[in-house]
Structure 1
Amino acid sequence: MISKRNADIVLACGVAVIIVATAIFLLAPVVVTVFMAFDARSYLGSFPPPDLSTQWFGRLVSNAYLWSGFRTSVLLAFAATAIAAAIGAPAALAISRMSAQWRDIVTTVFLSPLVIPGVIVGFALLMFFSSFNLLPPFPRLVAGHLIITIPYTIRMTLIGLSGISASLREAALSLGAKERQAFFTITLPLAKNGIAAGAIFAFAFSMDDVAISLFLSDFNTYTLPVALLGLMRSSFDLTIAAAAVALMGLTIVLLFVLDRVIGLERAIGQGMYRV
Structure 2
Amino acid sequence: MKRLIDNAAAWLSIANIIVLLAFLIFPIVVAVTMSFDAREYMGRFPPTEYSLHWYENFFSDAYYLRGLSTSLLVAVITTVVSTTAGISAAIALDRYTGPGKQVLESLFLSPLIVPAVVVGFALLLFFAMVGIFDGFTRLLGGHIIITFPYTVRTTLAGLVGIRKTLTEAAMSLGANERQAFWDVTFPLARTGIVAGAVFAFAFSMDDVAVSLFLTSPDSYTLPVAMVSMMRTNFDLTIAAAAVVLMIFTFALILVLDRTIGLDRLIGKGVFRS
Q: One fold, TM greater than 0.5?
A: yes
1:96-122 per-residue CA deviation (whole Å, 9 max, x = no partner) reads 112287444322221121121110000
Distance 2:64 2:266 in 1: 33
Distance 2:272 2:130 in 1: 48
For 2:6, give the aligned amino acid. D
Aligned pairs for 1:63-82 (under 5 A) are 63-82=61-80
* 1:13 positional shift: 2.3
Report SS of the residue matched to 1:99: coil
Contact 1:96 1:103 in 2 (8 A): no
Distance 1:230 1:199 in 2: 28
Report SS of the residue matched to 1:38: coil
Q: Could you tell me which runs of 5 or more consecutive residues in structure 2 were left unpaired when the two chains were aligned.
A: none
For 1:127, give the aligned amino acid. L
* 1:184 positional shift: 3.3
- Identity of aligned pairs, percent? 49
* 1:188 positional shift: 3.0
* 1:55 positional shift: 1.4
Where has structure 1 moved over 6 Å in runs of 4 or more? Answer: none
Distance 2:227 2:62 in 1: 15
Q: Could you tell me which runs of 5 or more consecutive residues in structure 1 were left unpaired when the two chains were aligned.
A: 267-271
1:22-72 per-residue CA deviation (whole Å, 9 max, x = no partner) reads 222222211111110111112111111001111111111111100000011
The answer to which of 93-102 and 70-79 deviates more is: 93-102
For 1:262, give the aligned amino acid. I
For 2:122, give the aligned amino acid. A
* 1:241 positional shift: 0.4
2:266 to 253, 262, 267: 262
Aligned pairs for 1:246-257 (under 5 A) are 246-254=244-252, 257=256
Query: In the alignment, which residue of structure 1 is the partner of 2:126?
Result: 128
1:212-267 per-residue CA deviation (whole Å, 9 max, x = no partner) reads 1100001111000000000111111111001111112223344565854327x95x
Query: In the alignment, which residue of structure 2 is the partner of 1:240?
Result: 238
Distance 1:176 1:241 in 2: 57
Distance 2:80 2:140 in 1: 11
Query: In the alignment, which residue of structure 1 is the partner of 2:222?
Result: 224
Report SS of the residue matched to 2:54: helix
Query: In the alignment, which residue of structure 1 is the partner of 2:53?
Result: 55
Distance 2:137 2:55 in 1: 31
Contact 1:95 1:107 in 2 (8 A): yes
For 2:84, give the aligned amino acid. A
How many residue pairs end up in the alignment? 267
Query: In the alignment, which residue of structure 2 is the partner of 1:269?
Result: none
Q: Does 1:194 align with 2:198?
A: no
Give the superposed CA RMSD.
2.1
For 1:82, give the aligned amino acid. V
* 1:93 positional shift: 0.8
Q: What is the TM-score with the length of structure 1 in the denominator? A: 0.89
Distance 1:103 1:36 in 2: 50
* 1:177 positional shift: 3.0
Report SS of the residue matched to 1:40: coil
Distance 2:84 2:133 in 1: 21
The answer to which of 148-157 and 29-38 deviates more is: 148-157
Distance 1:167 1:255 in 2: 34
Distance 1:163 1:251 in 2: 31
The answer to which of 16-25 and 76-85 deviates more is: 16-25
Contact 1:37 1:56 in 2 (8 A): yes
For 1:117, give the aligned amino acid. P
Query: In the alignment, which residue of structure 1 is the partner of 2:172?
Result: 174
1:186-205 per-residue CA deviation (whole Å, 9 max, x = no partner) reads 22343344323211211111
The answer to which of 28-37 and 244-253 deviates more is: 244-253
